[in-house]
A = this chain, B = another copy of it.
Amino acid sequence: MLSEFDLIKEYFQRPQHATRAALGIGDDCALIAPTPGMQTAISSDMLVEGRHFFAGEEALRLGHKALAVNLSDLAAMGARPVGFTLALALPAADRAWLQGFAQGLFALADAFNIELIGGDTTKGPLNICITVFGEVAPGRALRRSAARPGDDIWISGTLGDARLALAAYRQELTLERSALETAAVRLHMPVPRVELGVLLAEQGIAHAAIDISDGLIGDLGHILKLSQVGATLDLDALPAGDILATRDTALRRAYSAAGGDDYELCFTAPAAARAAILTAAGSVATPVTRVGSIEAQAGLRLVDAGGAALDLQLAGFDHFTS
């Protein structure tokens, strides 16, 4: 059995890695030197076995996803990632698991040039808690409360394939093997839209933003509530994932509007910013799609491609009621 300190050193300490932290792993605290004039954005997410992932999930995927969902929160704020801490409860110090987990975690960390600066390991039911830190200029953060009537509603990437994979795992429907493999990548290996979020904030071209983790309708609902506005959402304009796009209309609407685990950005921006948004998104190779409008009238109105009202019962995901 590895001791706690051996474990940290062997799998999580990377002394050879060029560090942005003033002091990394190995002391009571990590130290970072904030860029003068910038605000620090902070978010914590906890992933629990059986709740956020299946028991026996591949460690590499978990390492990736645990960091990805946190980076997605920074992206939704328009903050540039700087570093993260990892607190990890493990039933046992399993070398193969740790190696895979560290591989998935650091591959994503390296892709965004951020580093693990501290954390904690303990024995216990598998639980992964990551806290990320980023930087954003004062007044530039993309806040949920900033949507205004007349804003377009935009979505990055595509929606619903993660939910489709989950449905297949749960045997709610069947997918061919190759289709499931494609959809499952969206569920297990989400790519946080960091570059897009940072550009939207830096250029000041978006108002509100949120990342879509619990389903678009539920997450957009947070923007509407905090901004004290309403919206009309064109369900047929929602960009469905490659596999979901091959399914029938009802499933496509349901899973793209309220699927969950998409980790795309939903953001609002004035119509005058359309060209700038398309240019910014293009510069970071991130597709974006206009899917509705923010309106002064409270409530969320769902419509089809022809503008006819749709009455669907679609709710976001809640960890304590579902």
Q: A27 with B125: in contact, given A4-B318, A39-B33, A87-B44 (CB under 8 Å)?
A: no
Tell me the A100-135 residues at the B interface (CB within 8 Å): 117-125, 127, 129, 131, 133-134
A14 to chain B, nearest CB (A): 17
- The 0/1 profile, CB within 8 Å of B marked 1, for residues 281-322 of chain A is 000000000000000000000000000000000000011110
- Selected from B3, B23, B28, the residue in CB contact (under 8 A) with A321 is B3
Give complex CA distance A79, B144 in Å: 32
Question: Are A42 and B30 in contact, CB atoms less than 8 angstroms apart?
Answer: yes
Interface size counted on chain A using CB atoms at 8 A: 72
Question: Are A87 and B141 in contact, CB atoms less than 8 angstroms apart?
Answer: no
Question: Are B43 and A29 in contact, CB atoms less than 8 angstroms apart?
Answer: yes
Question: Are A41 and B29 in contact, CB atoms less than 8 angstroms apart?
Answer: yes
Question: Are A42 and B32 in contact, CB atoms less than 8 angstroms apart?
Answer: yes
Give complex CA distance A12, B85 in Å: 22
A77 in the interface (beta carbon within 8 A): yes
Question: Are A319 and B46 in contact, CB atoms less than 8 angstroms apart?
Answer: no
A175 in the interface (beta carbon within 8 A): no
Question: Are A41 and B30 in contact, CB atoms less than 8 angstroms apart?
Answer: yes
A54 in the interface (beta carbon within 8 A): no
